[in-house]
Amino acid sequence: MFLFAFLFLSVWHFPILISQQLCSLQESCDLCLSAGADCVWCADLTLIDNSTTRCMIRDTQNSCSNIQDVVGNFTILEDIEFSQQVQIRPQKVKVRLRPGESITFNATVKPAPNFPLDLYYLMDLSYSMRDDLENLRSLSVEIASRIFNISSDSRLGFGSFVDKPLAPFISTTPSNLVDPCGSSCEPAYSFHHILNLTTDIDLFTDLIANTKISGNLDIPEGSMDALLQVR
Ligand SMILES: *[C@@H]1O[C@H](CO)[C@@H](O)[C@H](O)[C@H]1NC(C)=O
Ligand SMILES: *[C@@H]1O[C@H](CO)[C@@H](O)[C@H](O)[C@H]1NC(C)=O
Ligand SMILES: *[C@@H]1O[C@H](CO)[C@@H](O)[C@H](O)[C@H]1NC(C)=O
Ligand SMILES: *[C@@H]1O[C@H](CO)[C@@H](O)[C@H](O)[C@H]1NC(C)=O
Ligand SMILES: *[C@@H]1O[C@H](CO)[C@@H](O)[C@H](O)[C@H]1NC(C)=O
């Protein structure tokens, strides 16, 4: 398993005037360099005109002979060649930035053909999902063929959930325990693992075709219970 570190940097450009004002308020080199990406500090000790601030916008024209500036940079730490396992280059980049600064570096992605791909389809089968179950039934062949088109080394699994079969999550009157919606529904359950990860598309579509809807009482369902049990 490869670890990727993705860094999303948002670019925040103050209009020049605001940035200038922001720089000029800073009273030490430290504060100056952290105030904005474009602030620089004049450390010229001969500059004793205290009416001008020492913290200013980069490239300000003046007689300062000692400008303290720090510009962000990046170092590529790991850049292994593409292979079946390596699909992004570089793999590790160390970035040093000032607050508000942005930096650009190139990353290249090359999907490995027929990379192993497992899809476990976990379906909410509470009563309001009955139309979605219909959709899944009619789309199951297409879902499977799309997945296998992405990678021939794919497997499909299937499971479903409703909610904890206890009050107040479900109605516990005897008839509702057997059929929670009074129209040939399955009794409520927490999680059913229905199909192990397999390459058998027909089994996947058959099992989805034979899945029944169920029902419960309250609006939230036991999604997290089910997610934790997916295998
Ligand atoms: C400018 O500021 C420095 C340090 O705060 C001080 O020593 C110096 O007297 C000031 N110079 C003038 C001309 O006000
Ligand atoms: C990146 O910036 C830091 C801080 O200014 C500096 O110490 C480091 O040497 C720089 N690295 C490169 C590769 O320029
Ligand atoms: C990114 O790649 C493009 C095209 O190869 C190149 O022109 C550009 O300089 C690269 N940028 C960096 C930050 O390396
Ligand atoms: C399978 O993928 C290829 C190329 O990636 C594409 O041209 C083709 O339309 C896809 N077929 C289906 C059924 O999605
Ligand atoms: C999944 O596989 C395990 C062992 O490989 C087996 O014990 C279990 O019954 C299978 N489950 C289903 C739903 O087929």
The domain containing residue 100 runs over which residues? Answer: 73-109
Ligand 4 pocket: which of 139, 149, 151 to mutate (most atoms within 8 A of CB):
149
User: Residue 61 maps to which CATH number?
Assistant: 3.30.1680.10
Q: What is the per-residue burial (b if ≥16 Cβ within 10 Å, else e) of 67-98?
A: eeeeeeeeeeeeeeeeeeeebebbbebeeebb
Tell me how far apart the alpha carbons of residues 38 and 141 are, in angstroms, rounded to a whole number. 56
Query: What is the mean pLDDT of the segment spanning 84-96?
Result: 94
The confidence score (pLDDT) of residue 199 equals 95
Nearest-CA neighbor of 71 among 40, 113, 25, 107? Answer: 40
pTM check: above 0.85: no
Answer whether residue 63 shows pLDDT above 60.
yes
The confidence score (pLDDT) of residue 20 equals 82
Query: What is the mean pLDDT of the segment spanning 123-151?
Result: 93
Query: What is the mean pLDDT of the segment spanning 117-142?
Result: 94
Extended strands (E) in the chain: 39-42, 55-57, 67-68, 73-78, 88-89, 92-96, 108-109, 117-124, 154-161, 191-198
Which residues make Cβ contacts (< 8 Å) with residue 35, sequence separation at least 6? 22, 23, 25, 26, 55, 99
| Packing angle, helices 130-150 and 201-209, rounded to 10 | 180
- Based on the domain organization, do 83 and 133 belong to the same domain? no
Tell me how far apart the alpha carbons of residues 211 and 206 are, in angstroms, rounded to a whole number. 9
Query: What is the mean pLDDT of the segment spanning 63-74?
Result: 91
- Based on the domain organization, do 64 and 77 belong to the same domain? no
Answer whether residue 203 shows pLDDT above 70.
yes
> What is the number of the ligand closest to the CA of 28?
1
Tell me how far apart the alpha carbons of residues 214 and 7 are, in angstroms, rounded to a whole number. 43
- Based on the domain organization, do 121 and 225 belong to the same domain? yes
Answer whether residue 51 shows pLDDT above 70.
no
- Based on the domain organization, do 123 and 209 belong to the same domain? yes
pLDDT tens for each residue of 13-46: 444 556 788 898 998 999 999 998 999 999 988 7
Cα of 149 vs centre of ligand 4, distance in Å, is 6
Minimal-distance CA residue to ligand 4 atom 14: 146
111 lines ligand 4 (CB under 6 A): no
145 lines ligand 4 (CB under 6 A): yes
Answer whether residue 69 shows pLDDT above 80.
yes
Query: What is the mean pLDDT of the segment spanning 52-64?
Result: 84
Round the average pLDDT of the chain to a whole number and report it.
87
Higher-confidence residue of 20 and 119: namely 119
| Confidence band of 4 (pLDDT split at 50, 70, 90) | very low
Query: What is the mean pLDDT of the segment spanning 182-194?
Result: 92
- Based on the domain organization, do 132 and 225 belong to the same domain? yes
Ligand 3 pocket: which of 106, 108, 109 to mutate (most atoms within 8 A of CB):
106
Cα of 134 vs centre of ligand 5, distance in Å, is 26
The confidence score (pLDDT) of residue 60 equals 83
Cα of 142 vs centre of ligand 4, distance in Å, is 12
> What is the number of the ligand closest to the CA of 145?
4
**Domain total in the chain:** 3
